[in-house]
Amino acid sequence: MVGQEHVLQALINALDHDRLHHAYLFTGTRGVGKTTVARILAKCLNCEAGVSSEPCGVCGSCLEIAEGRSVDLIEVDAASRTKVEDTRELLENVQYAPTRCRYKVYLIDEVHMLSTSSFNALLKTLEEPPPHVIFLLATTDPQKLPATVLSRCLQFNLKNMSPELIVGYLKSVLDQEMVSFEEPALWLLARAAEGSMRDALSLTDQAVAFGNGKLVEADVRNMLGTVDLSFVYRLLEAVAAQDASAALAVVEAMSEHAPDYAGTLDELASLLHRVAVAQAVPDAVDNSLGDAEQVSAFAASMTAEDAQLYYQFAITGKRDLALAPDARGGMDMALLRMIAFRPAAVIDDSVSTEALEERGPEVAAAAKKPDAPQAPEPVPRPSAPAPAAPKSVASEPVASEPAAAERVTTAPIPEPAATASTAPEPAVAEPAVPQRAVPEPAAPEPAAPDPIAPEASAGPETQPAVDAAGDAGHGATERLALEPARWPDLLDRLGLNGLVYNVASHCELRQVEGDRAWFTLDERNASLYNDAHSQRIAAALAKYYQRDIAVEIEPGSPRYETPAQRAHRLLEERQARALESIESDPGVKLLLDRFEGSIDRDSVTPIKH
């Protein structure tokens, strides 16, 4: 009973403490030991030495059960006895005491094959059997059993066995049989068994016969039809080097041996899995196939992103083989897909040069030669020469003469701490609004611009300095863009997306003071928020206003409408207008009256303009 310790522990405790149940159900896939554990349990129950978890194995009862000739162990193949008459005949003798054993044990294999009538006939006896009867049921498909049967049994689910357990057991068996073997051959057999110990033993017996009394990796590969690992290594080397001709040449060489291409993709995916593990936990690389050094070399030569990408294409390529015109063409396309869809390296400015070099020469080269300059200089738009001294355009009426309007439209927004000669890229003006005149300052000393001056401002040319008193406060209010009323419109200009945009859309701009902004996040969406979101929003505001702005976000109940609530309200209003438009349409009314129809309101969708 290799690998089924969770089942053995429960049965051992029940036997040793005399806590027996009248019905046991063992489930699991083929070859994991369902019938075996049932027979061992029958020995434990009927051993002449007494009920215990360690039957003697030498008494008459144990020997009869082991040899399959015990009259008190009734084994039934439910697949061949599905009729209700067979079940009734079986249950006719339940009331009689066992012939020579302590318990009469009914072992029903593949019990899910019984018909509904058979289950109904079995149900009452299964619920209240005589004290000398114990039912042992085994099935590979417990979902087909009625719930009434399942509720009357103790259910034990036997697990699939891992390749490690199978290899360990095969080693002990082969050592006892004095059969020479190579360990990679055992791993091939264990993986081919797919968790079934019985399949593993059958394949091992076949492989010993195929190899003339010994297990050699090459012979086992030929018997199973699996590809030589050297081809898999060469395929991965070609893919990692982005060499399509080399990859197709390896497939051409493989085709001479009539390989199983689905198995080849399995081997490639298994190798990539080990490479990914080696990248994440270098000490976890196993040397079961004697290629730990090769796996470590692959792990060092490619990035973790590439390993994950190739693994994904390998498993999806296997799935698509059935749709390909031929298996080799599907294999070719899977490899070419790995090469064609490998993304260019994404460079993070925060990563040091040494860290980039550790990730591989390709990544380091991409970092040294970016496609575009990191900080392109702004190209100023040609405009009229700047006056010798800063002069307020707002002192002139905006709509009084064309020259003034032209100056307002082309007025550039200076960058922080820029000199008078700097000419950054101007912003597109909004419709002109009459501005209150602001007197020229006494001293024309350049100063940093207002932190909340928007890029798309239609206001006057920026003053070198604004007094903190008098009309300056009123002028700043008129030019203020970062304010609660304009937050929904401003949000769409910040360039946010994804979860950060979602968080920002549920925020209300509560207060702005200088270079600080306070937001209230709708507490119903507070679970989405973390500190990184406020940093992203602050970075977007800083980029938009060309100046650092501190952002603080607190969960709460917004007093006014958030951008998300506003978008929902506008959508509902558009939906209502669309419904009203359809319901008031004369043609629609005529159709409804003529055919006695009705409008499916859920199918109405507003047209996006």
Domain assignment present for 173: yes
Q: What is the DSSP letter of 592?
A: H
**Residue (of 539, 466, 472, 470) closest to 504 by Cα position:** 539
Domain assignment present for 452: no
Cβ proximity of 48 and 60 under 8 Å = yes
Clarify whether residues 194 and 244 are in a common domain.
Answer: no
Of 288, 318, 340, the residue that ends a domain is: 340
Q: What pLDDT score was predicted for residue 338?
A: 92
Res. 402: pLDDT tops 80:
no
Of 340, 357, 385, the residue that ends a domain is: 340
Domain assignment present for 280: yes
Q: What pLDDT score was predicted for residue 425?
A: 43
**Residue (of 196, 191, 198, 251) closest to 224 by Cα position:** 191
Clarify whether residues 81 and 182 are in a common domain.
Answer: no
Assign residue 551 the CATH number of its domain: 3.30.300.150
**pTM for the full model?**
0.49
Res. 480: pLDDT tops 60:
no
Angle formed at CA 440 by CA 437 and CA 444, multiple of 5 degrees: 150
Res. 394: pLDDT tops 70:
no
Assign residue 14 the CATH number of its domain: 3.40.50.300
Look up the domain containing 195 and give its range. 163-224
Structure tokens at 86: 């067979």
Domain assignment present for 74: yes
Assign residue 208 the CATH number of its domain: 1.10.8.60
Cβ contacts of 477-480, under 8 Å, gap ≥ 24: 478/435, 478/436, 479/450, 479/452, 479/453, 480/452, 480/512
Q: How far is it, in rounded angstroms, from Cα 162 to Cα 4?
A: 11
Res. 200: pLDDT tops 60:
yes
Q: What pLDDT score was predicted for residue 345?
A: 52
What is the DSSP code string of 316-374?
HHHHHGGGSSSHHHHHHHHHHHHHHTPPPPPPPTTS-HHHHHHT-HHHHHHHHS-SS-S
Assign residue 275 the CATH number of its domain: 1.20.272.10
Q: How far is it, in rounded angstroms, from Cα 284 to Cα 281?
A: 6
Three-state SS for 436?
Answer: coil
Clarify whether residues 23 and 146 are in a common domain.
Answer: yes
Domain assignment present for 214: yes
Clarify whether residues 24 and 144 are in a common domain.
Answer: yes
Clarify whether residues 198 and 280 are in a common domain.
Answer: no
Clarify whether residues 128 and 178 are in a common domain.
Answer: no
E strand or H helix that includes residue 190: helix 183-193
Question: Looking at per-residue confidence, does 29 or 371 come out higher?
Answer: 29
The mean pLDDT of the chain is: 77
Cβ proximity of 430 and 458 under 8 Å = yes
Domain assignment present for 256: yes
Q: How far is it, in rounded angstroms, from Cα 78 to Cα 122?
A: 12
Q: What is the DSSP letter of 2?
A: T
1-29 per-position pLDDT tens digit = 777 888 888 999 999 888 888 899 999 88
For the chain, what is the domain count? Answer: 5
Clarify whether residues 580 and 533 are in a common domain.
Answer: no
Domain assignment present for 414: no
Question: Residue 127's pLDDT band (boundaries 50, 70, 90)?
Answer: confident
Distance in angstroms between the alpha carbons of the first and the last residue of the chain: 69
**Which residues, 6 or more positions from 368, have their beta carbon under 8 angstroms from its beta carbon?**
none
Clarify whether residues 334 and 261 are in a common domain.
Answer: yes
Res. 154: pLDDT tops 60:
yes
Clarify whether residues 24 and 124 are in a common domain.
Answer: yes
Clarify whether residues 147 and 26 are in a common domain.
Answer: yes
413-468 per-position pLDDT tens digit = 444 443 333 334 444 444 444 444 444 444 444 444 444 444 333 333 333 333 33
Q: How far is it, in rounded angstroms, from Cα 558 to Cα 526?
A: 12
Clarify whether residues 12 and 138 are in a common domain.
Answer: yes
Q: How far is it, in rounded angstroms, from Cα 571 to Cα 576?
A: 9
Three-state SS for 25?
Answer: strand
**Residue (of 472, 461, 462, 465) closest to 447 by Cα position:** 465
Average pLDDT over residues 571-584: 90
Q: How far is it, in rounded angstroms, from Cα 21 to Cα 63?
A: 24
Clarify whether residues 211 and 234 are in a common domain.
Answer: no
Domain assignment present for 315: yes
Q: What pLDDT score was predicted for residue 184?
A: 84
